[in-house]
Chain A
C-alpha cells in the first residue's frame, strides 16, 4: 500500500514537472517577454539591459529552476493584456468557477445515478426508454447549443431567468459567493444545468450498464435465493458493486467539467477561470495560458490520485490482492 502510494506520488510529481516544463517553454519561447513589457520605441540597448536584468540570458536550466521556484511561491508574473499579477486574477475568478462546477457535478450525480439505477433495473419500461432517448440527444447536442436553447427559452421567450453573469454576490472573507442571494441563485440555474447535462447522461449510461452487468452475476441470484427483499438486493448488493467504475469515471469527469466550464462560461458570460483563459487565448496572453495549464494540470493530478486512493477505500478486494502480492 505504502509502496504503491509512493510510486503514484512520484509519477504525479513527474507529470507536474513535465507540465511545468511545457508552461515554461510557452512562457519563454512563444512571443518575446521583453517585447511585451516595453513600448514600441524602446531602444535596443535598453531592451538588452532589461533582458539581462530579467535573467533571460542565463542558461535555460537556471531559468527553468527560477520558474519552478516562482510557481511554488504562487507567483505567475503579469498578464500581458490586463497588466495585473496573474495570481490575483486567478484568486478573483476561482470562486465563480468552483461554485458553478460543484453545483453542476452535484446535479449530475444526484439526478444521474437514480436514473441509471432505474434504467438498469427496469430496462423494458417506457420511462427507461424515455431516459435513454433523452440521454442520447443530450450526448449529441453540443454544450454551447444546450445553453443557447435554454437562454432562448427561459431568458428571451419566457423572461424568467437572467441570461448572463453571476447576479449579486456576497463577499465572505476572500471568497465571493452568489449562492446566498436570490439573483445569484437564479443566475446559476441555467449555467449549472448546461454544464451538468453532459455529465448527467454520461453517469446515467455508465450506472445503467454496470447495473445490467452486476444483475446478471451469480451473487445476485444467490442473494435472491436467500430470500432478500428486492430493495436489499438492488441497493445493498447491486448498486454497491457498481461503485468502483462509477467513482473512477466520475472522478475523471470532474476534470472534464473544468474543460466544459470554459464553454459554459462563454455562453453565459460567467466571470470564471474559463472565460479568463479563453480571453487569454484570443489575446495571446501567454502568462495566463501557462498558469492555467499548470493550475488545471495540478487539479487533474490531484483528482487522479484521490480516485486511486478511493479504490482502496471502496473495494476491499484490491487491498487483499495488493497485500498478498506484496507479501511474496
Chain B
C-alpha cells in the first residue's frame, strides 16, 4: 500500500515537472518518442511478431529470392516487403536487423559510459598528474573522428584474432571498437561536472566524516553528475547505431549470416543496378528513421535539461 502510494506520488511529481511539460508541448518530440519507442519494442519482440526467422537457413527457400513487395503484380502476400537474394523475408530481416543494430548501439554506449564516467570521475576528483594524463589522451582521441578510431580498432582486432574466429567474435569486436571510440565525450563532461561538485559542501561533509575517496566518488558525486551524461548518452546512441551501420556497410562489422541494418544495406547495395531496389531502400529508411527519432529526442533532452534556455 505504502509502496503504491509512493509510486503514485513520484508519478504525480513527474507529471507536474518542467520536463514533462516541455515534452508534451513539443509535438515533434512526442512523435519521435513514439516512433523510437515502437521501433525498440518491435526489435525486442521480433522473434514473436516476425513472419519468419531470417537467421535460420532452414527457413529460407532460394526459390523465393527476389520477390518484390506485395503491391507489385508478382508480389507474394507471404512477403509484405519482398525478399532478398537468399529468399529472406525483408520485414523479418528488418525486425531482426534492428534488434542487432539497437543491441550493438546500446551495449557500446554502456561500455563507453562505463569507461568515460569512471575515468572522468577519477580525473576530476583526484586531479594532478592522473587528470592530465587521462585528459590528454581524451583530447588527442577526440580530434580524430570516432568512425576512424573504430575502423582502426576493428582492423587491429582482425589482425590479432585468428581468421576463423572473425565472424564469431565480430559483435564483440564491433562493440569494443565503438565503445572505445566514443568514451572521451563522457569523460570530458563528467570531469567538468565533478570538478564543480567536489568543492561543494556535501562532499566536504562526506570527507569530514571520514568516508573513503572511492565511496565519495561513487555514492555522492556520481549521482549529481549524471544529468548531462544522459543527454550525451542519447545523442551517442544515435552515433553508435550509425557507426555500427557504417562499419557493417563497409564490410568490417556484423557478418551477413546474422545481418544488422547496415549489413542489409551492404547486401542490397549489390542489387542496385538490377532493379531490386527494395533490398536496399527498406533497411536504409528504417535506419534513417531510427537515427532521426533518437536524434530528435536527444536534441529535446539537451534543451529541456539546460536551464539557460528556459
Q: Do A and B bind each other?
A: yes
Interface residues of A (CB under 8 A from B): 15, 18, 26, 30-31, 136-137, 139-145, 148-149, 151-152, 155-156, 163, 252, 255-256, 258-260, 262-263, 266-267, 277-278, 280-282, 284, 286, 289, 293, 296-297, 300, 304
B264-278 contacts to A, CB under 8 A, are: 265, 269, 272-273, 275, 277
- The secondary-structure label for the interface of chain A is helix
- Given A30-B160, A136-B292, A156-B273, are A255 and B140 neighbors across the interface (CB < 8 Å)? no
CB B114 to nearest CB in A, in angstroms, measures: 23
In the complex, chain A residues whose CB is within 8 Å of the CB of B252? 278, 281-282
Q: Which of B150-158, B197-205, B222-230 contacts A (4 or more CB under 8 A)?
A: B150-158
In the complex, chain A residues whose CB is within 8 Å of the CB of B273? 155-156, 163
- Is B307 located at the chain interface by the 8 A CB criterion? no
Q: Is the pair A259, B291 in contact by a Cβ cutoff of 8 Å?
A: no
In the complex, chain B residues whose CB is within 8 Å of the CB of A15? 140
In the complex, chain A residues whose CB is within 8 Å of the CB of B158? 281, 284
Q: Which of A26, A277, A278 is close to B159, meaning CB atoms less than 8 Å apart?
A: A26
CB A133 to nearest CB in B, in angstroms, measures: 10
Interface residues of B (CB under 8 A from A): 140, 143-145, 147-148, 151-152, 154-156, 158-160, 238, 242, 245-246, 249-252, 265, 269, 272-273, 275, 277, 280-281, 284, 287-288, 291-292, 295-296
A-B contacts, 27 listed (Cβ < 8 Å): A15-B140, A140-B292, A142-B242, A142-B246, A142-B249, A142-B288, A145-B284, A145-B287, A148-B265, A151-B272, A152-B272, A152-B277, A152-B280, A156-B273, A156-B275, A252-B143, A255-B145, A258-B145, A262-B147, A263-B249, A281-B158, A282-B251, A282-B252, A284-B155, A289-B155, A297-B144, A304-B143
Q: Is the pair B154, A141 in contact by a Cβ cutoff of 8 Å?
A: no
- Given A262-B250, A280-B155, A284-B155, are A148 and B143 neighbors across the interface (CB < 8 Å)? no
**Bound-complex Cα distance A140 to B140 (A):** 26
Q: Is the pair A148, B251 in contact by a Cβ cutoff of 8 Å?
A: no
Q: Is the pair B156, A30 in contact by a Cβ cutoff of 8 Å?
A: yes
CB B189 to nearest CB in A, in angstroms, measures: 18
Q: Is the pair B245, A142 in contact by a Cβ cutoff of 8 Å?
A: yes
**Bound-complex Cα distance A58 to B292 (A):** 54
CB A280 to nearest CB in B, in angstroms, measures: 7
CB A18 to nearest CB in B, in angstroms, measures: 7
Q: Is the pair B272, A141 in contact by a Cβ cutoff of 8 Å?
A: no
In the complex, chain B residues whose CB is within 8 Å of the CB of A26? 156, 159
Q: Which of A144, A163, A286 is close to B265, meaning CB atoms less than 8 Å apart?
A: A144
CB A325 to nearest CB in B, in angstroms, measures: 21
Closest B residue to A139 by beta carbon equals B295
In the complex, chain B residues whose CB is within 8 Å of the CB of A282? 251-252
Closest B residue to A257 by beta carbon equals B145
